[in-house]
Structures are given as structure tokens and as C-alpha cells.
Amino acid sequence: MAHRVGSLCEDLYPPSKSFSEKAFVSSMEEYSEMYAKSIREPATFWRPTAEILGIKSTSEEKDFVSWNFNPQKGPIHVEWLKGAQANMCYSALDLNIQRGLGDNVAFYWEGNEPEDDSVMTYKQLFVEVCKFANVLKKHGVKKGDRVAIYMPMVPSLVVAMLACTRIGAPHSIVFGGFSSGSLKDRIIDSSCSILITADGVYRGTKCVALKDICDQVDEVCEPEWVDCEDTLFLLYTSGSTGKPKGVLHTTGGYMMTAYSTFKYVFDYHPGDIYWCTADIGWITGHTYVTYGPLLNGATSVLFEGVPTYPDGGRFWAVVDKYKVTQLYTAPTAIRLLMKMGDSIVKRYSRKSLKVLGTVGEPINPEAWMWYHHVVGDSGCPIVDTFWQTETGGHVITPLPGATVAKPGSATFPFFGVVPVILDENGRELNGECEGYLCFSQPWPGIMRTVFGDHERFETTYFKKFPGYYTTGDGARRDTDGYIWVTGRIDDMLNVSGHLLSTAEVESCLVEEQSVAESAVVSRPHPVKGECLYCFVTPMDGVAFTDALVAALKERIREKIGPFACPDFIQYAPVLPKTRSGKIMRRVLRKIAAGETNLGDVSTLADQSSVESLMRHRLD
């Protein structure tokens, strides 16, 4: 997805003086100083964070950080604070309670129905977590055992996550919108010993899905200390080969990244009410619904519903109900609400808002402006946070009190992160440039491996450009040094902020008996950002009917999940291929987008294939 370059993008939005004065980082000078230190002396920079988080030094402790990003020099590895000990749950709950925050609200739960809500303080959360940790122990779960979780957005989900971390059992959460087939694949790949799920009956009757089984249980459960490099969780993300990858994060480094990005990027201060609308089943929910806020002792809103129920004013109603100060959501939600018009937004006060955040895909400048001017009444800094499941937390992002924003740019690196833009030959580009977005050194929260497949980790992220972590995204640097992420440059697509691989959808389509071949590309979509456009060649003698299209959509819903359902499935008598048999996706993307100029098609084996595809194209 290319960015429009024009007057819109060149507008500058500095934070207001009154905001900057109270912010943790108040100017670009201050940011630059801290940033330089974080790169020059990572240990000095991060040690105070480790101390705040209660990470315990031991005699086993090795280097503060040790790493290799070059497969030619040996196995890829990253270690932060190896040998030191930590416990996520202890840092998130025990420490905050010891510091006097026990009666503070951890979560205001807002159910799907506006009148369905509940409150959970740090102390209450602590008790629930200890009880449930004991339930897990009673079921034989031990330190190091992997636990699958498949639950809706209820406080019990947070309880389940924290209970796992309390006993040192890595969790593997599967987003509730995934199908049972996807759940099965992930459980098998991660060899989880137990699955925590919610009884459908409890849904909508407040936050008590796990409560009954916990009621009889012991409220005391000592935290299990683990090595900082022990696994905290696995989270599956789409891979370009079609098989999802179990991204593995470890304890100490992830904690430091979650804590510090939350603090600085949202500029969270005591008394603020923070709300991230993401589902916990995605990385955004892991880091910015559960761990980042809790490590900071923050008060958050946990929302079960959707932006349009009972009407398109729900977000703003929730903002007013809880006096939300920081709102963190996705461009796709912003565009959806923007389409509904300004008047519905203006029905609500929104006066509490201080910082507005976005994540998931490049935000188009129009949506940025609307978010800023209409939602934030032109008074709130916007933080356009670029990151990935793999990065654990924000890597390129504005700091709200320091950065002069440009609509559509994720701006500058977070502390400890060194972005580089490489050309096809792996040369670092300087000044104004466009190329592959990579990172040349590790920050604490970067993933450590692909679960059960270290080779795939090396191949996916380090092989193309030895010495660098490759994001798979393209980026442009402008004359002022701002970074503009332009979107995926591999075979991945981003539907409403959810990454999918074309291969994953294609293999699902060809599993249908009557399908001979398929090719899936992305097509720009006004709300979702991108949507799936599928070309399907039926087996000889099979008719391409509405029933077939419906069956294919149903199959994708069942195999992957409803969010992956294609918007378009087009009949393709034959797919355009090169003489060596490679499908020319570039041509298919143009057909899908409704373009008439298909560019150079001279390498096509069969020129007529394109004409028939053009005839059958859908709008």
C-alpha cells in the first residue's frame, strides 16, 4: 500500500506546550538524549527498568544482553538478563499491591451490552489469579508446561493468563475468532497439555466464567521464579508459507519492553484511565491490554463488544462513561466510525481524552486527520505505533509529548531500536530513501525463536539480509528523517489489521474437491484497508456457481475464521503464469484492483489468460 505524498502528509503536528510540560519525555532533545543512551549503553539504560519490575539478580547472571543477528557467524540468538530471575505475575500484581495500589481498579469491564459491566481491583485480581493458579496446579500443570487459552474478552481471560505466568507455565492464546480447526492446529503445534476455555453459558453474565471452579480453592500461591530467558508465551502469527508460526517471547526482556513502551508511548500517569480496544487474542491485547498496563499499575477498560453495537456511538459512550484518557485502536475501526459521520461523535463529550493511539496497519492521512480533529477535538497527540507480534511492543512510534507528528508517519524509533532501510542488495540507505525495513540490533522484547523450529526463525527473519532482523514491511525515510511504513512486501496481507498469508487461504481453497487451482491477492478496501480477492479455477467439468462460491467462503470461515472470509471470489478459467510456471501476482493484483493498465505482461506464457480474467472480474 503506497502512501499518498502530498500536502496532507507534510503538515506538522507538534504537541501542545501544556501537554509536553507534564509528559515523561517533553522534547525531541530529551528523546534524542535518552535514545542515544539506550543504543550506546543498553545495560545502563535498561537496568533501572529491571529494578522497577522486581527482576532479581543472581550469581548465575551472565551479560546483560548477548546476541547474534548474522546466520553466517553462528546460530541467531538474543538473550537479555540470562540467569536473572523474574515472575511476570509478581511484577504485575504483588509489587503494585505492595506499593499501595491494591484498591485501585485494574480493569473496568464493559460487556457487549452497555448495562453489563463490572470492576476488578488489583487485590481482587490477585486473589482470583492465585486461586486459578492453584486450579492449574491441581490439574497437574507445572513450570514449563504450555497452556492453550481460547476465551472471549472477559476478565477471566486476564486471570487465566496471569495464573499461567504465576506458576511459570507459558500460555498460548488463540484468538476467539479463530475456528476450531485453527485452534486444533495451534494446540498440536505447541503441544499444550491443557486448554482453558469459557463456557458459552456464562457469556454476558458478567466476568465469572472461571469463578465457580475457583471458589473452593486456596487463595495463596507463591510465584514461581523463572529465568528471564524462560518462555513467557507463544502467540501464533501467519507465515508466508501458509503454516502459522509460534512466535516465542521470553520473560525478562518482554516485561521491560511492555512496561516502558506503555509508560512512554501512552504517557500514562496515575489517575489516567486507559483503553485499548484490541482483543487479547492478538499481540496488541497481550502487550497493551494485559501486560503493559498492569506492569505500570494502570487502570484500564476491558471491552467485550464491537464499535457499532448498539450503535456507532459506542466507543464515545465508553470514553465518556469511564472518562478514558488514552484510547488505542486500529485504523480500520477509525475508518468505519469516520464513515458514520461526525454528528454521532459530537453527541459525546470526549473531554477526558489526552492521547490517541493507532496500530495494525499504515493509517491513511485522512483517517489520521479525522481521529485528531474530530475525535480528539484537535487537542490530543496521535501516536501511530508501528510494531509486530514478533517485536513484542512498539518499535517505531511517536512519543506524545516530544514528537512533532506527521499524519501517516510512525516517525522515529523507540528506545533501544535501530531501524535501517536496506536496498535489494542489503545495503543501508541513507537520507531520503525507500526500501526494506530492518533492525540492526535487538531491543529487550524482540522474539527469541519460532517455537519448535529455530531454523524457520532464522530463515524468515535473518537470511535475506544477514546481520539484520527483517520485518517484511517496506518503509520510506523522508528528508526530515521520518519513517513511513508502506506495508507488507511479502505474500502477506492485512485485513482490518489482521495479518494473513495468501498461501494459507489458497491452500484452504484448493482443499475443496472441485477446485483445481487458486491464487489470492489483496485488494484495497475503504474500511478494512485490504480485503481478499481470490481467483479460482474449478476442476474440468465443474461449473463455477454461486453455490461453489458460498461453499468456499464457508470453508475459509471454518478452517481459518470469519475475519479471513474473502470479499471476492472470481472465476479464473486459467491463471496467468510465467513460462516457468510462477503465478504473476502483480498482474492479478491489478485485475483485482480494477486497473486497466496491467503493466508489462510480456513474460506471460499465455497472453489470452489475462483477457479472460478481465472479462470475469468482479467489482
Site residues (CB under 6 A) for ligand WTA, limited to 278-317: 282-284
Pairing of strands 105-110, 117-121: antiparallel
Does residue 494 touch ligand WTA according to CB under 6 A? yes
CB burial of residue 532 (10 Å; 0-12, 13-18, 19+): buried
∠ at Cα 50 (44, 55), nearest 5°?
Answer: 140
Nearer to ligand WTA, 313 or 445 (CB): 445
Rounded CA gap, 4 and 485, in Å? 12
Does residue 410 touch ligand WTA according to CB under 6 A? yes
x/- binding map, residues 237-266, to ligand WTA, per CB under 6 A?
Answer: x-----------------------------
Rounded CA gap, 414 and 391, in Å? 12
Does residue 386 touch ligand WTA according to CB under 6 A? yes
Cβ of residue 359: shortest distance to ligand WTA, in angstroms? 5
Out of 290, 364, 385, 411, which residue is the one contacting ligand WTA (CB under 6 A)? 385
Span interacting with ligand WTA, options 354-362, 445-453, 520-528, 586-594, rule CB under 6 A? 354-362
Q: State phi, psi for 107 to the nearest 5 degrees.
A: -135, 130
Span interacting with ligand WTA, options 43-51, 106-114, 469-477, 541-549, rule CB under 6 A? 469-477
Nearer to ligand WTA, 284 or 329 (CB): 284
Span interacting with ligand WTA, options 85-93, 308-316, 465-473, 610-618, rule CB under 6 A? 465-473
Q: Is the dihedral of CA 368, 371, 373, 377 positive or negative?
A: negative
Q: What is the size of the binding site for ligand WTA (CB under 6 A)? A: 23
CB 531 within 8 A of CB 522: yes
Site residues (CB under 6 A) for ligand WTA, limited to 508-547: none
CB 486 within 8 A of CB 474: yes
Pairing of strands 226-227, 85-86: antiparallel
Span interacting with ligand WTA, options 125-133, 355-363, 413-421, 598-606, rule CB under 6 A? 355-363
Return the beta strands (E) in 123-185 as ranges. Answer: 147-150, 171-173
Nearer to ligand WTA, 385 or 403 (CB): 385
Out of 389, 411, 496, 609, which residue is the one contacting ligand WTA (CB under 6 A)? 389
Rounded CA gap, 599 and 594, in Å? 13
Span interacting with ligand WTA, options 172-180, 379-387, 422-430, 517-525, rule CB under 6 A? 379-387
Cβ of residue 175: shortest distance to ligand WTA, in angstroms? 10
Does residue 504 touch ligand WTA according to CB under 6 A? no
Rounded CA gap, 484 and 382, in Å? 15
Nearer to ligand WTA, 284 or 518 (CB): 284
∠ at Cα 205 (327, 178), nearest 5°?
Answer: 65
CA 576 to each of CA 85, 516, 573, 588, 612: distance values in angstroms, whole numbers, following the listed order: 56, 14, 10, 8, 10
Rounded CA gap, 555 and 550, in Å? 9
Cβ of residue 287: shortest distance to ligand WTA, in angstroms? 8
Span interacting with ligand WTA, options 8-16, 105-113, 467-475, 505-513, rule CB under 6 A? 467-475
Cell of 62: 551472565
Nearer to ligand WTA, 111 or 529 (CB): 529
x/- binding map, residues 470-489, to ligand WTA, per CB under 6 A?
Answer: -xxx-----------x-xx-
CB 381 within 8 A of CB 400: yes
Does residue 332 touch ligand WTA according to CB under 6 A? no
Nearer to ligand WTA, 166 or 498 (CB): 498
Span interacting with ligand WTA, options 9-17, 117-125, 277-285, 575-583, rule CB under 6 A? 277-285
Say how many C-beta atoms besides its own lie within 10 A of residue 586's C-beta: 13
∠ at Cα 526 (522, 532), nearest 5°?
Answer: 20
**Burial code of 146-162, b = ≥16 C-beta within 10 A, e = fewer?**
bbbbbbbbbbbbbbbbb
Cβ of residue 410: shortest distance to ligand WTA, in angstroms? 5
Nearer to ligand WTA, 95 or 418 (CB): 418
Cβ of residue 407: shortest distance to ligand WTA, in angstroms? 12
Site residues (CB under 6 A) for ligand WTA, limited to 176-235: none
CB burial of residue 356 (10 Å; 0-12, 13-18, 19+): buried
Span interacting with ligand WTA, options 250-258, 353-361, 523-531, 547-555, rule CB under 6 A? 353-361
Cβ of residue 246: shortest distance to ligand WTA, in angstroms? 13
Span interacting with ligand WTA, options 49-57, 383-391, 425-433, 584-592, rule CB under 6 A? 383-391
Nearest-10 crossing angle of helices 585-592, 608-615: 20
Amino acid at 135: V
Does residue 384 touch ligand WTA according to CB under 6 A? yes
Cβ of residue 277: shortest distance to ligand WTA, in angstroms? 13
Cβ of residue 158: shortest distance to ligand WTA, in angstroms? 19
DSSP characters over 72-96: GGSS-EEEESTT-EE-HHIIIIIHH
Cβ of residue 211: shortest distance to ligand WTA, in angstroms? 31
Cβ of residue 497: shortest distance to ligand WTA, in angstroms? 7
Does residue 329 touch ligand WTA according to CB under 6 A? no
Out of 153, 214, 334, 359, which residue is the one contacting ligand WTA (CB under 6 A)? 359
Out of 361, 491, 504, 506, which residue is the one contacting ligand WTA (CB under 6 A)? 361
Nearer to ligand WTA, 97 or 404 (CB): 404
Strand order in the sheet with 433-439: 419-422, 433-439, 469-477, 483-488
Say how many C-beta atoms besides its own lie within 10 A of residue 425's C-beta: 7
CA-wise closest residue to 371 among 404, 409, 333, 319: 333
Does residue 368 touch ligand WTA according to CB under 6 A? no
Cβ of residue 448: shortest distance to ligand WTA, in angstroms? 16
Nearer to ligand WTA, 249 or 488 (CB): 488
Q: Taking the CA of residue 480 as centre, how many other CA atoms within 13 Å lie in the half-sphere pointing to its CB?
A: 14
Site for ligand WTA, rule CB under 6 A: 237, 282-284, 359-362, 384-389, 410, 471-473, 485, 487-488, 494, 499
